[in-house]
Amino acid sequence: MTRVLVGLSGGVDSSAVVDELVAGGHEVVACVLRMQEGGAPVPAPDALDRARSLCAERGVKLVEEDVSSRFACAVVEPFVGEYARGRTPNPCVTCNAAVKFSGLLAAADRFGCEKVATGHYAGTVPDGPGRALITRGADAAKDQSYFLYRLAPHQTARLWFPLAARTKDATRAYAREHALTAAEAKDSTGVCFAPGGDYHATVSERAPGLLAPGPIVTEDGTCLGEHRGIACYTLGQRKGLGLSGGPWFITRIDPESNTVTVAHGTAPRWRSFSLSDAVLWRDLPAGGLDCMAQAHYRARAVPAHVTREGKRLKVELAEGDTLAASGQSCVLYRGATVIGGGIIELDDCQGRSR
């Protein structure tokens, strides 16, 4: 059997993984990463209590790792900084690569664990000696492969996702059947490190100017109303603008003038865009690479052609267009396998379709 370190949050998914691996005879070490204390602790106190109780009941060694300094520097500060640039960050992508999995793998080394298991709805596929790539989970509604695209193949080779072929409903059913206290725990929503999941308080505390009111204008400069601060908005947003005569959609956020620009009719969509800070886990042929591109978590992946453009990747959709926002991640797939991705850049981009 395998000596495995399980990333335990106290939620239903990771709790089910701990229980199942113990029942399967594996030698389990559970690890809770304590990412933030204070107003919005991560994990929350009730989740931490559930994690401790589960390990005590199952006779599992529990270690609690303090990664709060790294989390603040690598996740929270860049999160606020992106809003200051009028962009829309994705903190989960950053956290998985820079904090969560790096922390779990380091803990696994210290405790002599061959594998690291988590409750993510994703899978892996071998990609040569000592390498593996992330694949989609079976539950399309809960698939988390999008958030894991920055994990390097040598890291992924050590990962184990026991829920890869399972649905969320099946996981909850397992938790109820085995009397896990986390069986009815609510899924986490919003930004985990923000009070109540509302990130505005976090932004206000660190950069109050980002919640300063300013004008909402049309693309010809006509003022339609006042916004609540640029950090409250994202490109393509329709709801919550407080404007009559809609639908209105945000087409630009300008932090220098503290202005939000809108257009009437349809959301801005894009046929092409570039990716900064990109990773590609497949060789890029001279003529480019055909794949599927997913421009945000809930987006449908669409056929695309990817080429190198200086230090960036250029993504050109083969058919149709998609919603996109600077700062979000676009993840590239071959079938169900993640082959890379990067941060969407729309500045000076000529790929807007309307």
* Chain centroid, CA 182 distance in Å: 23
State the Cα–Cα distance between residues 179 and 185, nearest whole angstrom: 12
10 Å CB burial of residue 346 (0-12, 13-18, 19+) is buried
Buried b (16+ CB within 10 A) or exposed e, 104-133: bbebbeeeebebbbbbbbbbbeebeeebbb
The gap from C-alpha 157 to its chain's centroid, in whole angstroms, comes to 20
3-state secondary structure of 345: strand
How far is 311 from 293, CA to CA, in rounded Å? 19
The active-site residue out of 31, 92, 192, 291 is 192
H helix or E strand, kind and range, residue 51: helix 45-58
- Neighbouring CB atoms inside 10 A of 231's CB total 26
Burial class (CB in 10 A: 0-12, 13-18, 19+), 157: middle
Task: Name the token pair of 6.
Answer: 């399980």
Q: Rounded CA gap, 317 and 324, in Å? A: 12
Known catalytic membership, residue 291: no
Is residue 257 a contact partner of residue 340, using CB atoms and an 8 Å limit?
no
Omega prior to 303 cis, within 30 of 0:
no
Residue 268 structure tokens: 């801005």
CA pair distance 23, 107, nearest whole angstrom: 22
Tokens of 145: 């492969």
Q: Which one from 31, 55, 92, 95 is the annotated catalytic residue?
A: 95
- Catalytic site includes residue 223: no
Quick one: which of 38, 40, 20 has its CA closest to 30? 20
Computed on alpha carbons and rounded to an integer, the radius of gyration of the chain in Å comes to 21
Structure tokens at 228: 């609540």
DSSP SS3 for 233: coil
**Residues with catalytic annotation?**
95, 192
